[in-house]
Structure 1
Amino acid sequence: MAKNPFRRVIPYYWRQVKKYKWPFFMMFGAYGGATIVTQLVPLYYRDIVDVITHADTPALVADRLMSLMLAIAILTLTYNALYRLGDYCIVKTHGLVTRALADYAFSKIQAHSYRFFSETFAGSLVAKTRRFIQGYDSIQDQFLFSFWMTGIQFVSILVVLFALAPLIAAIFLFWCCIYLVITFVFVKVRTKYDLSEATADSAVTARLSDVLSNVLNIKIFAARFREEDTFGEVTTQQMKARTAAWNFDTIQNTVQGLFMALLQVGGLYFSIQMWLAGTISNGTIVLIETYLAGIFGSIWHLGKSISQVGKSVSYAVEMVDVFEQTPDILDPVKPEKVRIRKGAISFKNITFLYGPNTAAVFNNFSLDIPSGERVGIVGHSGAGKTTITKMLMRFADISKGSIEIDGQDIRAITQDDLHNNISYVPQDPLLFHRTLRENISYSKPGATMKEIITAAKKAHAHEFISAFPDQYETLVGERGVKLSGGERQRIAIARAFLKQAPILILDEATSSLDSISEMYIQQAFNALMEGKTTIVIAHRLSTIQKMDRILVIEQGKIAENASHTDLIAKKGIYYSLWSHQAGGFIEE
């Protein structure tokens, strides 16, 4: 049986709240005290009515009324002081707790592997994170201003009524028990509607994010109306889920409203009967009706609050699912100290599958790359070229065997330590919506401006950067959209120059460059590769001619392994690829 969503969500909120528990508890104490004070005021109104209706001597009445008014004034001032103290505490704790929740969510999301992000919509994650934090806001407010304060109001009224009108108190208590049972039954049933609505909302957010990220494709393929139709299908499901939830809410409100009316009429009827019997005074009738009128609104709001908490929990539990999903790539419990210095790489009898029910991409695969060697890897799409780099960087874990760098198993160290020793330039680099300076220095936090400019010059990026009005302080737009593909590639290459790691991986790193830029970049790469173990994944074979050796990968195996010259002389697979190039690229 699935665990109750409420029991799954609340512990995550409490872990952050208890870091600031004293102002948190003071907040509840202050608001609770203010609520108690407000329940004392009607007692003095009762006395005012009784004094007026049983007036004897005007002078005595005036003195008595002045005393009562003074007491009410003192209570009002006390209420305001306590309420303002509660406001101060809620302001103090709210920002701290929501920041802690945001930091925690951000940390847990980042702990997941690259594969997790490739299979999950970014927009959906953003929506889940936002709703998780907003859920705390809602749940705290409902617990504080509804459950807590209504509970104190209820107990206070019950104590007074049992002292003054036990029959009314007993009827009120019995009614409240039935009302709360009905409310909780409604909330339990409503949870499935809230979960459906939350899922539908996430689907809309994910679809919208996907569309906005692919606007160019939509324009190119004239797919605007097609996407509108598809988006309409998603929003229709959202509408149906929301309508179902709202219809159920209407039924709940109708039933609760009838019970409220029943109590209101019943309370008034029995109060009048007791007054006619002479068991309560005029002032007590006013007191009872004042209490009932006040508690009606609070209990009605309590029912709405219970529903709102259920809805907030249903939204927040989506993020808890992310928290409780174990990352498929984990750091060792006791990581070893990094011993990577020269960058010698060894794949030892490794087996790799993308999933439990998929065929092995590599089976008993071995490869040794000595320190400082430059290796080019070629092959048709799907041969496993990029998978080699994914395994080396632990973007995906192997099923059998081991991968070692300088004799150290990469699974024995943290992923951060591994990545700090590898410079990686992907085929399609994505940039942060930050300045060019920040994007280049991302590989080396704290890099000086001189180092950044030097790296940019080596990557042949300095010239186009200098052409911008703000130069290195230019914002590049979301994912670097303000730059061309070649410019983004050169920024990524500049990062690699700046990082100076012992291992360099170039995954189609020159694929977006024109021929002239490629010539300059190749010259720069030769300098960058000096003393580094380098792996170059290439479709453009001209980029790997000067590698120490070239591996031809076919169906997860090394089909050929030699220098460019030797492979051409051999007239095997590589020779065939070279002979059938189109524009310098391998024909698929």
Structure 2
Amino acid sequence: MARFKIDLRAGAFRSVLGFTFSHWRRQPWRLSLIMGAFLLSTLADVLTPFYSGRLVDAVASGAGTDEVAWNAATTAFSILMALALAGVVLRNIAFLWIVELTLKMMSDIAADAFHRVQRFSTDWHANSFAGSTVRKITRGMWALDLLNDTILIALLPSVVMLVGSTLLLGWFWPLMGAVVAAGSVLFIAVTAMLSLGYVAPAARLANSWDTRLGGALADAVSCNAVVKGFGAEAREEARLARVVAKWRLRTGRTWMRGTANGTTQGALLLVIRAAVIGLALILWAWGQASAGDVAFVLTSFFVLQGYLRDIGTHIRNLQRSVNDMEELVDFQSEPLGIQDRPGARPIRITDGRVAFDKVTFHYGNHLLPLYRDFSVDIAAGERIGLVGHSGSGKTTFVKLIQRLYDVNAGRILVDGQDISQVEQASLRSQIAIVQQEPILFHRSLAENIA
């Protein structure tokens, strides 16, 4: 059995929540309206049980012909309807604004991630599954939708309801307020420990296998011509079956842990319910609570219980959305491949002379350089053929001219301009490439030629 460990993972939660807050700051007024509307609608929920109790007291105090009782009942009823209407209107306003907030954030995140991925190094792309990369971005985008809903629609109103109800009950009966506060804090603490220390590690591992599954599918589908050419369909299916088996095991364990977490929360709520209802009956027996007061306590608890039960779900959703966004947010810490120098200008091609000036280059951490103090001049209009055994550096020679890699020493000049000092896009737009193996987009013929 895996050892229980609180998995707050400061890095994960800090980076994901910091990433989310940075996007919230791009829409401050929209965020303020959403939070204000939800806070006010939740306060309406806090006051509803109190006026429900007053309605019960008014009904219990006399018959419908009693003018005082009738006025008290109609007043309580009118306030209850006004609170309900305010709650509906305010929530609707908040939902309309959060749709705009979330869609704007998801659009920005997709665009930012695509911008960065396109600019990652050639080595990064060579060592990353395209399917896995796409899965990280799309899963992270939809996790943001869940994260926004969890924090703004769920957790924030739940906390307001919890604090408001506890204070209101404590105002009339301090012991009742203490029981509700202690039970709620215990419930939230246990839920948080189980979600973050028991469910989160399994969810993170399940996500890693979900990413691998996406990568394995994309790899096999994109290379289908090779698979067919060697009659290897059965072998690829067997390979995918092994990945699916691992994914199924990890995902199943996550779901089972989530179920155990939910069962524990249900048991805790049952204990808190017994304590609150039992104390309400004791207060009634001691003459410290009327029938309306008991109705007020019961209504407050049942409303609060719904919020507490939801808090458990919200904490699990928060943990899940953080897990799902981790890999997307990690893109922000990935260094870009080749970057333009500050002040880089577009290259100006006049003749097209290419010169390697004492170039030294090696891949990554390789100790043996591919080129050492290599110099060559290619005159404008000159045709050059590169001949050599596999791995001798023919393809690398062309990639260095494109500045897909930076040299370790020396310079590469085009018409006397150091290509490390000019804009990459302008350099590559001047170079025509016929790929050794044609790569076609799933687009029109005209777009592929362009």
TM superposition score normalised by structure 2: 0.93
Matched with 2:257 is: 248
Aligned pairs (5 A) from 1:218-367: 218-336=227-345, 338-357=347-366, 359-367=368-376
CA contact (8 A) 1:162 1:169 kept: yes
Deviation for aligned residue 1:323: 2.1
**Structure with higher RCO (Cα < 8 A, 6+ apart):** 2
Matched with 1:98 is: 106
Matched with 1:534 is: none
SS, match of residue 384 in structure 2? strand
Deviation for aligned residue 1:88: 1.9
Instruction: Report the more deviating stretch, 214-223 or 105-114.
Output: 214-223
Matched with 2:148 is: 140
Instruction: Report the more deviating stretch, 107-116 or 130-139.
Output: 107-116
Which digits, 9 at most, give the CA deviation of each residue in 1:26-69, with x for residues without a partner? 01111221111122222221111111222167232333322222
Matched with 1:518 is: none
Distance in 1 of aligned mates of 2:320 and 2:85: 37
Instruction: Report the more deviating stretch, 353-362 or 221-230.
Output: 353-362
Distance in 2 of aligned mates of 1:315 and 1:79: 32
Matched with 1:122 is: 130
Which digits, 9 at most, give the CA deviation of each residue in 1:221-280, with x for residues without a partner? 222221111111111111121122223223322322221111011111111001100101
Deviation for aligned residue 1:172: 1.0
Name structure 1 gaps, 5 residues minimum. Answer: 442-588
Distance in 2 of aligned mates of 1:70 and 1:259: 36
Q: 2:97 aligns with which of 72, 89, 96?
A: 89
TM superposition score normalised by structure 1: 0.72
Deviation for aligned residue 1:374: 1.8
Kindly provide the amino acid, as one letter, of the partner of residue 169 in structure 1: G
Matched with 1:152 is: 160
Instruction: Report the more deviating stretch, 300-309 or 69-78.
Output: 69-78
Count residues in correspondence.
441
Q: 1:429 aligns with which of 420, 423, 438?
A: 438
Deviation for aligned residue 1:220: 2.3
CA contact (8 A) 1:340 1:408 kept: no
Matched with 1:51 is: 58
CA RMSD of aligned residues (A): 1.8
Percent identity of equivalent pairs: 27
CA contact (8 A) 2:413 2:419 kept: yes
Kindly provide the amino acid, as one letter, of the partner of residue 219 in structure 1: K
CA contact (8 A) 1:353 1:362 kept: yes
Distance in 2 of aligned mates of 1:88 and 1:243: 36
Q: 2:26 aligns with which of 19, 36, 53?
A: 19
Distance in 1 of aligned mates of 2:9 and 2:35: 32
Q: 2:85 aligns with which of 77, 86, 94?
A: 77
SS, match of residue 272 in structure 1? helix
Deviation for aligned residue 1:168: 1.1
Distance in 2 of aligned mates of 1:280 and 1:69: 21
Higher relative helix content: 2
SS, match of residue 194 in structure 1? helix
CA contact (8 A) 1:109 1:323 kept: no
Task: Please state if 1:399 is matched with 2:408.
Answer: yes
Deviation for aligned residue 1:116: 1.6
Matched with 2:4 is: none
Larger Rg: 1
Kindly provide the amino acid, as one letter, of the partner of residue 374 in structure 1: R
Distance in 2 of aligned mates of 1:415 and 1:63: 79
Structure 1 stretches of 4+ moved >3 Å: none
Kindly provide the amino acid, as one letter, of the partner of residue 400 in structure 2: M
Which digits, 9 at most, give the CA deviation of each residue in 1:496-528, with x for residues without a partner? xxxxxxxxxxxxxxxxxxxxxxxxxxxxxxxxx
Matched with 2:204 is: 195
Which digits, 9 at most, give the CA deviation of each residue in 1:412-441, with x for residues without a partner? 122112212212221123222222222333
